[in-house]
């Protein structure tokens, strides 16, 4: 039981990491191929990320902690599980709860989501589902047979051709189950109305802010790790300064600098681009409006947060003002729109006049 729970937790953690790393590309692709982002499709992709890792954790983990384990054999006789089930049920009298029956059923169920996700998210049919199930199952079984490709002296789990059959059957069954999902929610093809402008809502604006915060955080973390590694390899214990502080400063400088360049060149943050929104021209010239977009966004929040106390509290003030102003206007224009008298519009819409009717915008 502990192994099952541990494998599940590992799959969720690994899936969550993948989801965070792929978050901005996922949002950007969704707005360009589907026209927007729905909770249903987000949940499906998050589930697929966790499921991908669950396949490996449940079939390969736990690994032996040492070489002191019993080598497993292999079964190359197809459908041997039929005889095993018949013999087991004859003894136990349990058709649904016998361990041998459950073993086969779980092997089928483990690959059922694969066929489901391939049809609903990828638009692939039953043939691709079957071939994918067979290929992935084959890789897993071969990995087990070779002791994780030579990592262990011999196989610590049984290579079983019946597992290939059960897993492939599960993928085929999942592809058929996916027909229960309405056709408009299936497939990866570009939606016919993907280029139709949508209203800019507070939820969409908040999603863009989250993209900016996640993106800056990921870039900053990656840069700090690289800088820390370089300093450690170059200087080691000879370093006369705090390597953590230098690495953190480098991460902050590079990430915020990158966001500043993007805003200066495009007039939009990475989150704005991902969610396909832009600000109207307003009353300020571009050379003022674009830096203003940066100092009222996530980049400035990170810079202010890196300052020593009590100056770092200004980051809290900026974040509080941004969140509060999200609820003042329906399009969530925030500080940038308020200071520059600018509206948020969908970038698929035509050029909008800079004249802003503030009373109409508040409705």
Which of the four pLDDT bands, split at 50, 70 and 90, describes residue 261? very high
Q: What angle do CA 259, 222, 25 make, to 5 degrees?
A: 60
Are 88 and 50 contained in the same domain?
A: yes
Domain that holds residue 356: 202-362
74: in domain: yes
| pLDDT confidence tier of residue 86, bands split at 50, 70 and 90 | confident
Enclosing H/E stretch for 216: helix 202-234
Q: What pLDDT, in 10s, does the model give residues 13-60? A: 999 999 999 999 999 999 999 899 988 899 999 999 999 999 988 888
**Beta-bridge mates of residue 345:** 278
Q: How many domains does the chain have?
A: 2
Same domain? 14 vs 131 = yes
The model's pTM: 0.83
Whether 149 and 252 map to the same domain: the answer is no
Same domain, 58 and 172: yes
Domain-embedded: residue 284: yes
Last residue of a domain, one of 127, 150, 185: 185
Domain boundary among 152, 185, 218: 185
pLDDT reading at 354 higher than 60:
no
Judge whether 240 lies within some domain. Answer: yes
3-class SS of residue 116? helix
My answer on whether 72 and 171 are in the same domain is yes
Task: Kindly state whether residues 135 and 212 are assigned to the same domain.
Answer: no
Answer yes or no: do 220 and 95 share one domain. Answer: no
CA distance 346 to 280: 10
Mean pLDDT, rounded, for 161-179: 95
Asked whether residue 193 is domain-assigned, the answer is no
- Examine the fold and report which residue of 159, 185, 211 is the final residue of a domain before the chain moves on: 185
- Within a domain: residue 191? no
Cβ–Cβ < 8 Å for 346, 197: yes
**180, 232: one domain:** no
- When pLDDT is averaged across residues 275-283 and rounded to a whole number, the result is 88
Q: Are residues 222 and 172 in the same domain?
A: no
Name the residue among 205, 212, 223, 207 with its Cα closest to residue 299: 212
In this structure, of 89-98, 208-217, 257-266, 349-358, the range with the lowest mean pLDDT score is 349-358
Read off φ and ψ for residue 234, nearest 5 degrees.
Answer: -80, -40
DSSP 8-state symbol, 96: S
pLDDT in tens, 115-144: 999 999 999 999 999 999 999 999 999 998
* Cα dihedral across residues 318, 320, 323, 325: positive or negative: negative
Question: pLDDT value at position 66?
Answer: 66
Which residue is listed with tokens 């086969």?
Answer: 104
- Quick check: 42 and 29 in contact, CB under 8 A? no
Tokens of 183: 């056709």
Q: Is residue 179 located within the same domain as residue 206?
A: no
Residue with tokens 């449940």: 58
DSSP 309: T
Q: Which region holds residue 353: left if phi is over 0, alpha if psi is between -120 and 50, else beta?
A: beta
SS3 255: helix
Domain match, 353 and 288 both:
yes
Judge whether 197 lies within some domain.
no
289 within a domain of the structure (yes/no): yes
Q: Are residues 170 and 208 in the same domain?
A: no
What does DSSP assign to residue 63? P
Residue 227: what are its φ and ψ, rounded to 5°?
Answer: -65, -45
């Amino acid at each position: 039981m502990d192994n099952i729970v541990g494998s599940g937790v590992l799959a969720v953690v690994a899936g969550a990491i993948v989801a965070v790393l792929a978050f901005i590309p996922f949002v950007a692709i969704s707005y360009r191929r589907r026209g927007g982002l729905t909770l249903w499709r987000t949940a499906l992709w998050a589930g697929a990320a966790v499921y991908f890792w669950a396949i490996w954790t449940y079939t390969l983990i736990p690994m032996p902690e040492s070489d002191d384990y019993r080598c497993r054999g292999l079964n190359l006789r197809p459908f041997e599980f039929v005889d095993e089930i018949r013999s087991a049920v004859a003894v136990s009298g349990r058709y649904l709860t016998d361990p041998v029956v459950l073993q086969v059923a779980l092997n089928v169920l483990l690959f059922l989501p694969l066929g489901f996700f391939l049809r609903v998210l990828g638009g692939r049919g039953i043939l691709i589902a079957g071939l994918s199930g067979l290929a992935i199952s084959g890789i897993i079984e071969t990995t087990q047979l070779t002791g994780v490709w030579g990592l262990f002296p011999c196989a610590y789990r049984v290579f079983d051709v019946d597992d290939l059959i059960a897993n492939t059957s599960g993928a085929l069954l999942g592809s058929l189950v996916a027909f229960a999902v309405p056709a408009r929610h299936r497939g990866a093809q570009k939606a016919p109305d993907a280029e139709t402008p949508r209203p800019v809502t507070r939820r969409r604006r908040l999603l863009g802010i989250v993209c900016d915060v996640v993106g800056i955080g990921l870039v900053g973390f990656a840069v700090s790790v690289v800088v820390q590694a370089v300093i450690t390899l170059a200087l080691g214990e000879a370093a006369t300064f705090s390597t953590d502080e230098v690495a953190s400063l480098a991460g902050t400088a590079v990430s915020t600098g990158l966001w500043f360049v993007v805003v200066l060149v495009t007039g939009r943050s990475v989150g704005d681009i991902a969610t396909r929104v832009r600000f109207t021209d307003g009353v300020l010239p571009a050379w003022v409006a674009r830096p203003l977009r940066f100092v009222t966004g996530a980049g400035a929040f990170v810079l202010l947060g890196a300052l020593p106390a009590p100056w770092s509290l200004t980051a809290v003030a900026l974040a509080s003002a941004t969140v509060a102003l999200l609820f003042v206007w329906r399009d969530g224009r925030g500080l940038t729109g308020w200071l520059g008298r600018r509206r948020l519009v969908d970038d698929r819409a035509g050029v909008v006049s800079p004249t802003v009717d503030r009373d109409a915008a508040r409705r």
